[in-house]
Amino acid sequence: MEKRPAAKEQGRGLSRPPLSCRTSLRCGGMAPLIASCLILSLTGAAPAAPPARVMSLNVCTDQLAMLLAAPGQLVSVSELASDPGLSYHSALAASYPHNRGLAEEVLVAKPDIVVTGAYSLHNTTPLLRRLGYRIEEFQYSQTLDTIPGEIRRMGTILGAGSRAEGMAATFESDLSRIESERCGADPAAIAYDQNGIAMGAGSLVDSAMQAAGLRNIAAELGYVGMAPFPLELLVEKRPDIVVLPEPLADTPALADLIASHPAIRALGQGTLRIHLPRGSASCGGPFVIEAVKALADARRRIVSCQATGGHAP
């Protein structure tokens, strides 16, 4: 029988290494590459780099982005970011170019990511998606318990997870402390905004009232969201606390006259009239805790924990 030549003699050039060498990194060849692939499969791929250019088209995403973005990362915010009545961080907005939420502005700015809200211009978001832009859309926060998640989500988008986690944890801690300090019966309250609009059930202010230990009479009477509330009914119910809009000195408006209506003044000393910090309850963000603190402070002026023995209800 004719003896078959070895692989090297057949012109293959290389013979297969022994099994012990093929499974050892010391043998070189493909083993290090295979081992590297195995390590990556076990540990996961390297995290993606944070987006270099981010554009915000909504006053609520503006504020989260301004708080969490790295220097130079946020290239534009909406024009409403500078409105102190809507934006708690309106002073920060002066450092950024402004936009009107138009798709044409996004095409010029060429951001890597666009962050926006569900109630922004209705045609901008779908158009940008069709053009291939990455859009991160945030829902409008109606309750306090959604805010930490929104902070963390924005942190993930911007590559600022650690900073966002600290911010969200502080919000949760402050909120828990305020809720634990409540005592006695819950006072009745109403948020009576411009043109006699009340903040009913399901609104962010209603959620803040609950956290502060207040009964929202608008919600108790069946009003939902932002709804017209008869001034006569407010006078009849005589709440312990009335939250009124704070007029802006540089932009006077007839809508703000409700705060100085004779019927409001006639409620007398038995009703505490307060203002929330400007922009603190317009959007979901860490700054909403300032609205809760203001409501909790008003509650303490109505209900003394010493008088009730300092026990929560």
Contact predicate 211/144, CB 8 Å: yes
Q: How far apart are CA 191 and CA 198, in angstroms?
A: 6
Q: What is the pLDDT along the chain (313 residues), one digit of tens a residue?
A: 444 444 444 444 434 444 343 334 334 444 444 444 444 444 455 567 999 999 999 999 999 999 999 999 999 999 999 999 899 999 999 999 999 999 999 999 999 999 999 887 778 999 999 999 999 999 988 899 999 999 999 999 999 999 999 999 999 999 999 999 999 999 999 999 989 999 999 999 999 999 999 999 999 999 999 999 999 999 999 999 999 988 766 666 777 778 888 888 888 788 999 999 999 999 999 999 999 999 999 999 999 776 555 555 4
Per the rule left: phi > 0, alpha: psi between -120 and 50, beta: everything else, 251 is beta
CATH of domain 176-302: 3.40.50.1980
Nearest in space to 99 (alpha carbons), one of 116, 85, 119:
116
Q: 50-140 and 176-302 share one CATH topology?
A: yes
- The domains of the chain are located at 50-140, 176-302
Q: How much is the pTM?
A: 0.81
Contact predicate 17/23, CB 8 Å: no
User: Which H or E run contains 63?
Assistant: helix 59-68
CATH of domain 50-140: 3.40.50.1980
